[in-house]
Structure 1
């Protein structure tokens, strides 16, 4: 039952953002990592061309992902810049006009940077494994363990750690931040 206007009762709705535990690492032996991803997923993977445009924000990261086929996604996420498995909260909205949306967001927020990559997607249980070839940056692997509502970040870290072992991801290969951060660091920004 709703309270009458002016009674001072305020209803707030809490929307829980989807969560995942993410790992990002440099790949030194593409052929070996690709073979392991194919074995774990029992598939050849799906090739996805992507251009991500990152916009200036006060907190978190906001990017527009253009799939180069007339489709895109606006993605906002909050994730600490730490090595190893880390919790990421995110929200995604699909768009059929990524170019138009990019123009509006550029005018409103300004562009922080962009990332062009070819991604191979593999699904292993509740984990999305991305093998990324990032223009001007190199080869990487990302693990995204998508958590259910009943799972804790520790559950996701356990799954990620097991996959890291299976893929031979060494601690010294782990990275912090997003690809745009690495590109800007390489350019001395």
Structure 2
């Protein structure tokens, strides 16, 4: 089963983080321009990501750990057709959208994002991934902690809220009159 542990933090110096990642021989996948649309779901989150590198339909449940999140992925479809997206999302209320520029890097099973979020600023994410359930959450957490230290992420920069939550704080939803 696909699972991951993720640490997300504000990033004041993305060029330095990128330099550290490249110094650790991270593989640069490229820069993606993404729009994430979140739909109502009875359990977890349902998200359709549209980008030039990553196009996915994903249903997941996230559990908050101390300064990280553990994610259980229930559905993950790469490059879903419009018909599939419509079949899964039709009739569901849109909860929000996040627009971002994302630089993507990998070191083994660990994915790194440098996200420039419209209206929020720059963030770094460390996502230790277990595609087959063979790594275990303890090792995933150790990987996140290791790279948190390598990238010099301070505890006070850690963000435990989703980008959608942060955007709603920035621009509160005003009910229809």
> TM-score with structure 2 length normalisation?
0.86
Match of 1:89 among 61, 66, 72: 72
Distance 2:67 2:112 in 1: 15
Where structure 2 has 5 or more consecutive residues not aligned to the other structure, the ranges are none
Distance 2:41 2:88 in 1: 15
Match of 2:146 among 153, 159, 162: 162
Match of 2:31 among 47, 50, 57: 47
Rg larger for: 1
Q: Is the 8 A contact 2:64 2:70 kept in 1?
A: no
Match of 1:76 among 59, 63, 68: 59
The structure that is strand-richer by fraction is 2
Counterpart residue number, 1:124: 107
Residues 86-133 of structure 1: per-residue CA shift (max 9 Å, x gap): 31111311235359836972x411100001111111111210001111
Where structure 1 has 5 or more consecutive residues not aligned to the other structure, the ranges are 1-16
After TM superposition, the runs of 4+ consecutive aligned structure 1 residues lying more than 3 A away are 41-45, 95-100
Counterpart residue number, 1:14: none
Match of 2:93 among 103, 110, 113: 110
Question: SS of the residue aligned with 2:67?
Answer: coil
Counterpart residue number, 2:125: 142
> TM-score with structure 1 length normalisation?
0.81
Question: SS of the residue aligned with 2:24?
Answer: helix
Counterpart residue number, 1:62: 46
Counterpart residue number, 2:9: 25
CA RMSD of aligned residues (A): 2.3
- In structure 2, relative to structure 1, the CA distance for the partners of 1:81 and 1:183 (3 Å cut) is farther
